[in-house]
């Protein structure tokens, strides 16, 4: 491995520069105005993949944003690993809260990143983490270090639900055939506490519209006599949780698989400091479902959260108005065995049922995704485990993640292929927030660990 490690050291600056150029492209998948930039990012990535020595690099157009594919097949008797990542990013707003431009990457030290971190939208989620795989490939290829057949599938629509990826996968079964999926789009517990993600939550996302009177009204002339859709929406949202923090939508918990006490104890034994958690977020206390720890609330329990709410007058000063409409975007994080479509349907039914007669409501479902759990008794988990032991000098802890990555459950359903979630970010890297960043330590730790994954995966595949 030392040849590979030397190569990584010698090319360190270039590996950083290339990532910075990638980060300058505002590949915001949610906003149609950025469609050309998303395309540009796919072309930039395809170019770098070819330079790294990846073969058959192709950009597949979809109804939405393109998918970048490439492979390197070295020997049919060796296992095939499919690397997944996403080159699209979340919108950067609120833009005023960024200390430097979201698409003007800079390197700065932070308390947790003493070796410096790259600040830019997508630095950690997921351009920086997917680019580790491109540079790991280059480092292996240049040093006779390829141990497996490899395929790359990097999409541009993860942040908007991966709808076209599923179609692409179903239409290209042969092209994508693999033994396992490897992705880095999750986090480790801390730079000295490695972990491997063994579960993801699912997602149901809806937008609601509440309409009261047919037009905005004078709030003195009509206020108190006509339903105010903003007041009504707030009441409706508030009623969807009880005083124990449990969601009141009938049937919401029906399919939730409760963990055994043993599983809960194991999960809660992971290193976690509630004090540092509160300090980092500058909050005096945490809040959530009664009877569960913070780690459980963010991994094995389902949630309902308002992501945005608007309506009425929000300009300067005061305008007395009783608005005609109110809106909210609501997400529900799901756990096994909740089904995103079923949850969306019971939400729609419930939301309509609790609406008072003075308003009309509409619910528009957005994307969804299934929850996933990945086993720890597989070759791929063992390979990731051994690779991390080598580079961190410590055993990684299996941990369930709270976020969602729709491809993981989808790939298992379509191809019967499992994923290994070997991410290198930190939860405090501010993904989706202003000032997203990714530690240089983490970037290079990933580039060093990935080649070892292939080495061990090939060895373990050979032994049975
Ligand atoms: N990389 C994240 C998911 C993630 C982050 C998982 C940290 C575990 C730990 C991914 O890009 C993401 O943000 N997914 C979306 C879901 C999508 C359907 C919009 C999410 O979780 O909100
Ligand atoms: Mn991601
Ligand atoms: Mn994301």
Could you check whether the bond before residue 294 is cis, i.e. omega within 30 degrees of 0?
no
Alpha helices by DSSP H, 24-118: 35-51
Q: What is the pLDDT of residue 464?
A: 59
User: Does residue 446's CB lie within 6 angstroms of at least one atom of ligand 1?
Assistant: no
- CB neighbours of residue 387 within 10 Å: 24
Residue of the nearest CA to atom 7 in ligand 1? 186
Q: For position 1, what pLDDT does the model report?
A: 60
Last residue of a domain, one of 369, 398, 430: 369
Domain finish residue from 311, 340, 369:
369
Is the full-model pTM beyond 0.75? yes
Provide the b/e sequence for 224-238 (b: ≥16 CB within 10 Å): eebbbbbbbbbebbe
From the CA of 159, the nearest ligand is 1
CA distances from 17 to 12, 77, 135 (A): 9, 37, 12
Provide the CATH number for the domain around residue 99.
Answer: 3.40.630.10
Whose C-alpha lies nearest to ligand 1, atom 15? 404
Contacts of 147 (CB under 8 A, 6+ apart): 78, 140, 454, 455, 457, 458, 459
| Tokens encoding 271 | 């290193």
Indicate whether 192 and 210 sit together in one domain: no
Q: Which residue among 369, 394, 422 closes a domain?
A: 369
Q: Beta-carbon neighbour count of residue 94 at 10 Å?
A: 9
**Using only C-alpha atoms, what is the Rg of the chain?**
23
Residue nearest to atom 14 of ligand 1 (CA): 404
Q: Starting from the CA of residue 407, give the closest ligand.
A: 1
DSSP secondary-structure letter at 396? P
In angstroms, rounded to a whole number, what is the distance separating the alpha carbons of residues 82 and 78?
13
- Give the Å distance between the CA of 139 and the centre of ligand 3: 27
The two three-digit tokens of residue 25, written as one number:
């492209």
Query: 10 Å Cβ neighbour count for 308?
Result: 10
What value, to the nearest 5°, has the Cα angle with vertex 409 and ends 22 and 344? 100
37 lines ligand 1 (CB under 6 A): no
Q: What is the pLDDT along the chain (464 residues), one digit of tens a residue?
A: 699 999 999 999 999 999 999 999 999 999 999 999 999 999 999 999 999 999 999 999 999 999 999 999 999 999 999 999 999 999 999 999 999 999 999 999 999 999 999 999 999 999 999 999 999 999 999 999 999 999 999 999 999 989 899 999 999 999 999 999 999 999 999 999 999 999 999 999 999 999 999 999 999 999 999 999 999 999 999 999 999 999 999 999 999 999 999 999 999 999 999 999 999 999 999 999 999 999 999 999 999 999 999 999 999 999 999 999 999 999 999 999 999 999 999 999 999 999 999 999 999 999 889 999 999 999 999 999 999 999 999 999 999 999 999 999 999 999 999 999 999 999 999 999 999 999 999 999 999 999 999 999 999 998 75
- The three-state secondary structure class of 277 is helix
Residues 125 and 86 in one domain: yes
Residue 330 pairs in a beta bridge with 206, 306
CA 222 to ligand 1 center in whole angstroms = 44
Do the beta carbons of residue 330 and residue 306 sit within 8 Å?
yes
From the number of C-beta atoms within 10 Å of its C-beta (0-12, 13-18, 19+), residue 219 rates as: middle
Are 326 and 416 part of one and the same domain? no
> Is any ligand 1 atom within 6 A of the Cβ of residue 155?
no
Q: Look at residues 305, 89, 126 and name the one whose alpha carbon lies nearest to residue 204.
A: 305
Domain extent, residue 435, equals 2-200+371-463
**Residue 294 CB contacts under 8 Å (≥ 6 apart), including other chains:** 272, 274, 277, 286, 288
- 350: CB partners within 8 A, 6+ apart: 240, 249, 250
Phi-psi region of 346 (alpha: psi -120 to 50; beta: other; left: phi over 0): alpha
Please classify residue 107 by burial: count the beta carbons closer than 10 Å to its beta carbon, then call 0-12 exposed, 13-18 middle and 19+ buried. Answer: middle
For residues 276 and 193, state if they share a domain.
no
3-state secondary structure 138-167: HHHHCCCCCCCEEEEEEECCHHHCCHHHHH
CA distance 80 to 72: 9
What residues are neighbours of ligand 3 (ion), with CB under 5 Å?
125
Q: Which of 185, 307, 370 to mutate to test the pocket of ligand 1 (most atoms within 8 A of CB)?
A: 185
Q: 71 in ligand 1 pocket by Cβ < 6 Å? A: no
User: pLDDT at position 102, please?
Assistant: 98
Question: For a substitution probing ligand 1, which of 85, 303, 335, 403 has the most ligand atoms within 8 Å of its CB?
Answer: 403
Q: Please tell me the distance from the alpha carbon of residue 207 to that of residue 58, in angstroms, as a whole number.
A: 35
Q: Does 181 lie in the same domain as 156?
A: yes
Ligand 1 centroid to Cα of residue 187, in Å, is 11
434 and 379 within one domain:
yes
Separation of CA 219 from chain center: 42
Instruction: Tell me the C-alpha distance between 100 and 103, whole Å.
Output: 8
CATH number at residue 352: 3.30.70.360
Give residues whose Cβ lies within 5 Å of ion ligand 2.
125-126, 185
Do 169 and 41 fall into the same domain?
Answer: yes
Are residues 178 and 316 both part of a single domain? no
Q: Which stretches of 142-258 are assigned E, i.e. beta strand?
A: 149-155, 180-183, 187-188, 195-200, 202-211
Co-location of 219 and 76 in the same domain? no
Tell me, yes or no, whether 192 and 255 share the same domain: no
CA atoms within 13 A on the CB side of 366: 17
Residues 336 and 435 in one domain: no
Which tokens sit at 260? 């055994």
Taking CA atoms only, the protein residue closest to ligand 1 atom 6 is 403
Cβ 151 vs Cβ 173: under 8 Å = no
Instruction: Tell whether ligand 1 has an atom less than 6 A from the beta carbon of residue 367.
Output: yes
State how far the Cα of 291 lies from the Cα of 300, in Å rounded to an integer.
13
Same domain, 142 and 54: yes
Ligand 2 centroid to Cα of residue 400, in Å, is 15
Dihedral angle computed from the Cα positions of residues 266, 295, 192 and 132, in that order, rounded to the nearest 10 degrees: 110
Spell out the residues 6+ positions from residue 337 whose beta carbon is closer than 8 angstroms to its own: 255, 256, 257, 371
Ligand 1 within 6 A of CB of 229: no
Ligand nearest to the CA of 162: 1
Distance 186 CA to ligand 2 centre (A): 7
Determine the residue of 90, 154, 158 to mutate for testing ligand 1's pocket, defined as the one with the most ligand atoms within 8 A of the Cβ atom. 158
User: How many domains is the chain partitioned into structurally?
Assistant: 2
CA-proximal residue: ligand 1, atom 19 (nearest): 159
Report the C-alpha gap between 263 and 137 in whole angstroms: 36
């Amino acid at each position: 491995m030392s040849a590979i490690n030397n190569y990584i050291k010698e090319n360190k600056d270039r590996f950083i520069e290339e990532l910075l150029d990638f980060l300058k492209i505002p590949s915001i998948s949610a906003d149609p105005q950025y469609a050309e930039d998303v395309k540009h990012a796919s072309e930039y990535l395809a170019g770098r993949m070819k330079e790294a020595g990846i073969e058959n690099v192709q950009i597949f157009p979809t109804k939405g944003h393109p998918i970048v594919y490439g492979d390197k097949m070295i020997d049919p008797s060796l296992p095939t690993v499919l690397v997944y990542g996403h080159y699209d990013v979340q919108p950067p707003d609120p833009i005023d809260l960024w200390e430097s431009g979201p698409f003007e990457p800079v390197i700065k030290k932070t308390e947790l990143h003493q070796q410096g971190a790259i600040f830019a939208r997508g630095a950690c989620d997921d351009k920086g983490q997917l680019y580790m795989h491109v540079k790991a490939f280059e480092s292996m290829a240049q040093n006779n270090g390829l141990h497996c057949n490899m395929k790359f599938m990097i999409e541009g629509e993860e942040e908007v639900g991966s709808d076209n990826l599923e179609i692409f996968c179903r239409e290209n079964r042969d092209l994508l055939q693999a033994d396992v999926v490897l992705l880095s789009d999750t986090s480790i517990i801390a730079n000295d506490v490695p972990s491997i993600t063994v579960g993801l939550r699912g997602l149901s996302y809806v937008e609601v519209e509440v309409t009261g009177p047919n037009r905005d009204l004078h709030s003195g002339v009509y206020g108190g006599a006509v339903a105010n859709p903003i007041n009504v929406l707030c009441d409706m949202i508030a009623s969807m949780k009880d005083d124990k923090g449990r969601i009141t939508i009938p049937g919401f918990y029906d399919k939730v698989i409760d963990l055994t006490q043993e599983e809960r104890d194991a999960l809660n034994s992971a290193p976690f400091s509630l004090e540092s958690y509160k300090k980092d977020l500058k909050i005096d206390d945490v809040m959530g479902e009664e009877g569960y720890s913070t780690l459980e609330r963010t991994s094995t329990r389902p949630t309902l959260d308002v992501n945005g709410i608007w309506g009425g007058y929000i300009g300067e000063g005061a305008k007395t108005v009783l608005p005609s409409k109110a809106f909210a975007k609501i997400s529900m994080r799901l756990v096994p065995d909740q089904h995103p479509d079923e949850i969306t349907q019971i939400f729609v039914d419930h939301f309509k049922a609790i609406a008072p007669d003075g308003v009309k409501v509409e619910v528009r479902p957005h994307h969804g995704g299934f929850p996933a759990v990945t086993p720890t008794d597989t070759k791929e988990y063992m390979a990731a485990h051994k690779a991390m032991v080598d580079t961190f000098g410590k055993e990684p802890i299996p941990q369930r993640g709270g976020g969602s990555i729709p491809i993981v459950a989808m790939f298992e359903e379509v191809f019967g292929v499992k994923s290994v979630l070997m991410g290198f970010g930190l939860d405090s890297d501010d993904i989706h927030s202003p000032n997203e960043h990714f530690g240089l330590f983490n970037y290079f730790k990933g580039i060093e660990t990935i080649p070892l994954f292939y080495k061990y995966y090939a060895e373990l595949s050979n032994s049975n």
